[in-house]
Amino acid sequence: MKSKRFAPIALALTWAGLLVGYWPSGCTQSMAGPSAPAPSPEVVSAAPVNPAPTTFLPHPTFALAHAAAADQQVTIADIAERATPSVVNVASRRTMKREQQPQQEEMFRFFFGPRGGEPEEREQRGLGSGVIYSKDGLVLTNNHVIEGADEITVQTSDGTDYDAEVVGTDEKSDVAVLRLKGTLKDLVPISLGDSTNLRVGDVVLAIGNPFGFSQTVTMGIVSAKGRSETRIVDYADFIQTDAAINPGNSGGALVNMNGELVGINTAIISRSGGYQGIGFAIPSNMARQIAQSLLKDGRVVRGWLGIGIQDVDPSLAGAMGLPTADGVLVSDVEPGSPAEKGGLTRGDVILTVDGKKTNSSTQLRNLIAEAGANKKVELNILRGGKAQTLSVLLGELKSDKPEAPRGENGGARPPEASKGLSLDAISPRIRQQLQLPPSIKQGVVVTGVAPGSTAQESGLAPGDVIVEVNKRPINSVQEFRDGYQKGTGKSVLLLIYREGRTRYVVLER
């Protein structure tokens, strides 16, 4: 009777002993014992090294900590300790002037001062982060952290305060370079890594000052690369990470498991204003190039091709007879531009730039801009179904030059019939009203689009000028109707002029 009573207890103790014995064993071996080979520093893996022959998995905390292990059992704490001294607080102060008041309000203020004691000016303070990357006190940060600042103060990890001056800023990429002033002591510049070596799934650390809490370290992985469609800045190739980034982290460091800077933390996507798992960092290679240009020229010198571009979607590819929806479509070529001199024509599809694939119009813009002015690039294009290679000498993108429009899905879902459109001939009055250039010699103008019609769904809008139908120029509304009705297949290809550029739109019959 006694043995039967204690049998369940003995069984429970036996299982407990097994669990206690196996769990630490699995964790210890996953953290690499003396006989376990160290993983290559170029390939970061969270998998256990030489795991014990058991079905038990290592504890997640140990697995993540071991992701940083290199030759001498480097841990996450070691990486953070190495990189944190290079990350600084960036405090800015700017004076905001009160908006101009109506004349009677100005008279009131002349006699009685600001209404309700409201001050003429108010002070606005901002707090962000930055990264020291040279012994002589150069700091990388975001443009929006110091934009419009009257005073900038940088505090290093040891609590030393420095006044800082702006070396240069680039609003289009949100990069800024500061220089610390005064006597510099014991600065710890960070090592710049090669951001192109990052892989999706690599473990990274985000270091900064979220909500003013200095030297905060969070950990995550690289969620995606090449995020250029965020519309956060004009030129971007963001690293996406799930490492926690919050207000105050802007300008801080994203580091790899070698303790190298691979990104400048810049923005988050959030519905609450706080961290929700999606953060973006400017790749270190892009930040390095922009910083060098700011130091050398005081501005960023970007390449200029002089074309209008749009993404290729399946409907547009079908209408143009393209074999695939790869590449970026040239919808316009500016007269006298490097593109025209290099032989590019409307309807070409750019597949690569110097061997790098162009999967979107934004990516193409980045590649051309990064190449720089007076740089010769090789373009692989598709023209009339045949591949060609063109060599083009890029110009310099000036601030007053019209830039190629951002990637829009050039054609979306077109209308089932032309009845969704109201069209008219181009009269002298319309030409003057729309300020049409001399190059637009023919076409018809869209004067109305029926609400909810498929014409509206296609993206056509009043003021658009339809120049071609199925690659044939048109001069009247009747020619448009004829071209629309005589077209073969399920779609009709239109070339339209809008706001200074031409682009293609597809209409399904």
For every residue of 404-459, DSSP letters joined together read: PPPP-BSS-S--SSGGGEEEEE--HHHHHHHT--TT--S-EEEEEE-TTSHHHHTT
Q: Tell me if residue 439 is catalytic.
A: no
* pLDDT number for residue 37: 38
Measured distance CA(208)–CA(245) in Å, rounded: 8
Q: Is the pLDDT of residue 393 over 90?
A: yes
CA 303 distance to own-chain centroid = 18
| Of the candidate ranges 301-315, 373-387, 412-426, 447-461, the one whose mean pLDDT is the lowest | 412-426
CATH number of 75-97+123-299: 2.40.10.120
Q: How large is the C-alpha radius of gyration of the chain?
A: 30
User: In the predicted model, what is the mean pLDDT of residues 316-345?
Assistant: 90
Render pLDDT for 206-247 as a digit per residue (tens, 0 to 9).
999 888 888 899 999 999 998 876 667 778 789 999 999 888
pLDDT band at 404 (very low <50, low <70, confident <90, very high): very low
Render pLDDT for 16-31 as a digit per residue (tens, 0 to 9).
443 334 333 233 223 3
Residue 261, both tokens: 């800077």
User: In the predicted model, what is the mean pLDDT of residues 448-460?
Assistant: 74
* pLDDT number for residue 118: 53
Residues 66, 170, 174, 315: which is the catalytic one? 174
Measured distance CA(309)–CA(303) in Å, rounded: 15
Q: Tell me if residue 250 is catalytic.
A: yes
Which residue ranges make up each domain of the chain?
Answer: 2-73, 75-97+123-299, 303-396, 418-508
* pLDDT number for residue 119: 55
User: In the predicted model, what is the mean pLDDT of residues 89-100?
Assistant: 74
- HSE-CB at 91 with a 13 A cutoff on CA atoms is 13
Tell the CATH superfamily of the 418-508 domain: PDZ domain (2.30.42.10)
- Per the prediction, the chain carries an average pLDDT of 77
Measured distance CA(278)–CA(283) in Å, rounded: 16
Residue 451, both tokens: 């609400």
* pLDDT number for residue 236: 76
More confident residue, 26 or 372: 372
Which residue in this structure is represented by tokens 């139908």? 469
pLDDT band at 122 (very low <50, low <70, confident <90, very high): low
Render pLDDT for 405-441 as a digit per residue (tens, 0 to 9).
333 333 333 333 445 777 888 888 788 878 888 888 8
* pLDDT number for residue 51: 39
Q: Is the pLDDT of residue 115 over 70?
A: no
Q: Is the pLDDT of residue 256 over 90?
A: yes
| Range 303-396 has CATH code 1.10.645.10 | no
Single-letter code of the amino acid located at 128? G
Q: For residue 66, what is the DSSP state?
A: H
User: In the predicted model, what is the mean pLDDT of residues 374-380?
Assistant: 94
Residues 86, 92, 223, 250: which is the catalytic one? 250
Residues 30, 92, 129, 144: which is the catalytic one? 144
Geometric angle at alpha carbon 367, from 363 and 373, rounded to 5°:
145
pLDDT band at 399 (very low <50, low <70, confident <90, very high): low
* pLDDT number for residue 152: 94
Please check whether the two domains, 75-97+123-299 and 418-508, share a CATH topology. Answer: no
Measured distance CA(90)–CA(177) in Å, rounded: 12
Q: Is the pLDDT of residue 179 over 80?
A: yes
More confident residue, 104 or 309: 309
User: In the predicted model, what is the mean pLDDT of residues 152-169?
Assistant: 93
Q: What percent of the chain has pLDDT over 90?
A: 36
Q: Tell me if residue 136 is catalytic.
A: no
* pLDDT number for residue 95: 75
User: Each residue of 96-110: b (16+ CB within 10 Å) or e?
Assistant: eeeeeeeeeeeeeee
More confident residue, 44 or 381: 381
Can you name the residues that pair with 263 across neighbouring β-strands?
254, 283
Single-letter code of the amino acid located at 333? V
